[in-house]
């Protein structure tokens, strides 16, 4: 039989991560120890209390039915977490909806609000799932560049009025992936004002809200006056609580928007496994203790990698949060894709080319803080020995 891809499949280019893994596998076959700093997959285990709760609930014969969404216990845990951590009041019955990981939520959400031809304001660079969701909704992305002169925050004043008037949705991510820029009260206030003026829904991706180092905790978008009138915040337990494989996240904010997402999700899935929800409640209820330990580890890693790369001549974007370092490498005569494969071949260190996150990411690389300090120091040492490009 003849098997053909749908036309929509052309919107989804092949991800580079498989090619990076293949190159790393070939290098490993030569006896080189691979140091993988590519994927933002937490290497720390979940807290013991969380693991024990998951184990206990999974052993119960009654735990294996459909949940059909988030449990009341989970929604209350999210509401309590927001009140403690950000002083934000959420109605657990109407202002929170569970998703099966933030990736699922991010990709499906534009379909709930965008018609074909509507504009979605996204950043450049940006996490690749945003474009996937925009394309599925047959909307049109308008990219707001993240530039050094703007502290890597989007310039809302530079958006043409005709684009703003056609936009249905704005997606932000602070601290971000791949660029770990931090939000400010002034910026979020401007976002709310802009969204009200142009009738735009705001979705803030808060996946790295617990990753902060020298500065204060990044503020929640929902703590901004007026934010719940215009938007929502999506957050995942994958990064902050090392529950990446468990696939559990939530969207919180405007009740009417949450209701519309609920309508969509009722056609997509039958909810997350209840033991995972119960374990997530333990994580949220003990967030301060768990994330304090996580930050102590990642603060040291962040310092080791930032200072190490600077010492070997890399131009590193200043950051006080996030799970990644965003940097310009010295050999700018090589494009970023060729550079990362050169790095694998010569050093066995795996990093990600910035251009996969958008045109503005060219000649940058993303380096994940997902190995211990000793391995990060070894990675920097290897990178410092890269051969020069002959003129």
Is residue 54, in this structure, part of any structural domain at all?
A: no
Do 237 and 279 contact (CB within 8 A), yes or no? no
For residues 306 and 265, membership in a common domain is answered with: no
Whether residue 242 sits in one domain with residue 107: yes
- CA dihedral 116→122→125→127, nearest 10 degrees, is -80
**Which domain does 342 fall in, by range?**
7-45+289-383
CATH at 70? 3.40.640.10
E strands of the chain, at which residues? 35-36, 96-99, 119-124, 140-145, 167-173, 201-205, 231-236, 249-253, 315-316, 324-328, 349-350, 352-353, 364-368
28 and 169 part of one domain: no
Q: Which of 252, 287, 322 is the last residue of a domain?
A: 287
CATH number of the domain that residue 298 is part of: 3.90.1150.10
Structure tokens at 194: 């802009």
Number of H helices and E strands in the chain, helices first, is: 13, 13
Q: Is 375 found in the same domain as 304?
A: yes
Q: How far is it, in rounded angstroms, from Cα 76 to Cα 72?
A: 6
Q: Are residues 176 and 41 in the same domain?
A: no
Task: Answer yes or no: do 346 and 334 share one domain.
Answer: yes
Same domain flag for 201 and 308: no
Let me know whether 73 and 20 are in one domain: no
Neighbours of 48 (CB within 10 A): 8
Domain count, the chain: 2
Any domain includes 39: yes
* pTM summary value: 0.94
Same domain, 23 and 118: no
The dihedral formed by the CA atoms of 242, 245, 246 and 247, expressed in degrees to the nearest 10: 100
Is residue 226 in some structural domain?
Answer: yes
Q: Of 287, 309, 344, which closes a domain?
A: 287
* 55 assigned to some structural domain: no
Which of 244, 260, 287 is the endpoint of a domain?
287
| Whether 26 and 36 share a structural domain | yes
Residue-by-residue pLDDT tens, the chain, 391 positions: 999 888 888 888 778 899 999 999 999 999 999 999 998 889 999 999 999 999 999 999 999 999 999 999 999 999 999 999 999 999 999 999 999 999 999 999 999 999 999 999 999 999 999 999 999 999 999 999 999 889 899 999 999 999 999 999 999 999 999 999 999 999 999 999 999 999 999 999 999 999 999 867 889 999 999 999 999 999 999 999 999 999 999 999 999 999 999 999 999 999 999 999 999 999 999 999 999 999 999 999 999 999 999 999 999 999 999 999 999 999 899 999 999 999 999 999 999 999 999 999 999 999 999 999 999 999 999 999 998 765 4
């Amino acid at each position: 039989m003849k098997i053909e891809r749908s036309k929509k499949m052309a919107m989804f280019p092949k991800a580079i991560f498989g090619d990076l893994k293949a190159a790393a596998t070939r290098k490993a076959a030569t006896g080189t120890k691979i140091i993988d700093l590519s994927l933002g997959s937490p290497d720390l285990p979940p807290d013991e209390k969380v693991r024990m709760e998951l184990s206990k609930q999974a052993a119960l014969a009654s735990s294996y039915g459909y949940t059909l969404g988030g449990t009341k216990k989970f929604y209350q845990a999210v509401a309590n977490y927001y009140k403690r951590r950000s002083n934000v009041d959420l109605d657990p019955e109407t202002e929170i909806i569970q998703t099966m990981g933030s990736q699922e939520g991010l990709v499906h959400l534009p379909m709930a609000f965008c018609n074909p031809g509507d504009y979605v304001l996204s950043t450049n660079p940006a996490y690749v799932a945003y474009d996937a969701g925009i394309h599925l909704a047959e909307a049109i992305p308008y990219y707001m560049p993240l530039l050094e002169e703007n502290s890597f925050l989007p310039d809302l004043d530079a958006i043409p009025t005709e684009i703003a008037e056609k936009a249905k949705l704005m997606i932000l991510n602070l601290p971000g992936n791949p660029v770990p820029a931090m939000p400010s009260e002034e910026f979020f206030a401007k976002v709310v004002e802009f969204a009200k003026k142009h009738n735009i829904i705001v979705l803030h991706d808060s996946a790295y809200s617990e990753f902060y180092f020298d500065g204060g905790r990044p503020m929640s978008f929902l703590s901004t006056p007026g934010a719940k009138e215009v938007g929502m915040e999506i957050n995942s337990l994958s990064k902050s609580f090392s529950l990446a494989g468990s696939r559990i996240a939530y969207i919180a904010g405007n009740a009417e928007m949450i209701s519309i997402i609920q309508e969509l999700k009722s056609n997509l899935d039958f909810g997350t496994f209840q033991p995972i929800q119960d374990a997530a409640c333990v994580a949220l209820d003990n967030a301060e203790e768990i994330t304090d330990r996580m930050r102590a580890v990642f603060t040291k890693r962040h310092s080791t990698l930032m200072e190490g790369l600077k010492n070997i001549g890399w131009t590193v974007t200043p950051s006080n949060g996030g799970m990644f370092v965003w940097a310009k490498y010295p050999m700018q005569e090589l494009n970023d894709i060729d550079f990362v494969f050169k790095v694998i071949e010569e050093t066995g260190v795996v990093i990600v080319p910035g251009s996969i996150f958008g045109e503005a990411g060219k000649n940058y690389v993303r380096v994940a803080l997902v190995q211990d300090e000793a391995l990060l120091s070894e990675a920097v040492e290897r990178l410092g020995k890269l051969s020069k490009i002959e003129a």
